[in-house]
């Protein structure tokens, strides 16, 4: 496989992961707001869980970008 092709595949993979994580975080926000609207008394628990899950997904996106950058420059 050509080196430039490997770079393109790495960049594409990073882009897919970042777009997937953005969609996942958007879905989490949507579902959390829906849950808070249904049960306002549980808003604090739902919000804290939403933040933890969003942070985990964001960490996965950062990890994928770092791996892609390492694959490009290695």
CATH number, position 34 = 1.20.20.10
Q: How far apart are CA 62 and CA 10, in angstroms?
A: 14
* pLDDT confidence bin for 67, thresholds 50/70/90: confident
What's the number of domains the chain is made of? 1
Which of these, 16, 21, 25, lies nearest to 52 by C-alpha position?
A: 25
Task: State pLDDT tens for residues 17-55.
Answer: 999 999 999 999 999 999 999 999 999 999 999 999 999
**Where in the sequence is the domain holding 67, given as residue range(s)?**
3-73
pTM above 0.85, yes or no: no
Residue 14: how many other CB atoms lie within 10 Å: 19
């Amino acid at each position: 496989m050509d080196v430039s092709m490997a770079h393109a595949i790495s960049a594409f993979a990073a882009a897919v992961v970042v777009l997937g994580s953005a969609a996942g975080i958007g879905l989490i926000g949507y579902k959390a707001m829906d849950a808070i609207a249904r049960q306002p008394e549980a808003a604090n628990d739902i919000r804290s869980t939403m933040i933890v899950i969003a942070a985990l997904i964001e960490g996965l996106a950062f990890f994928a970008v770092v791996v892609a950058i390492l694959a490009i420059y290695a």
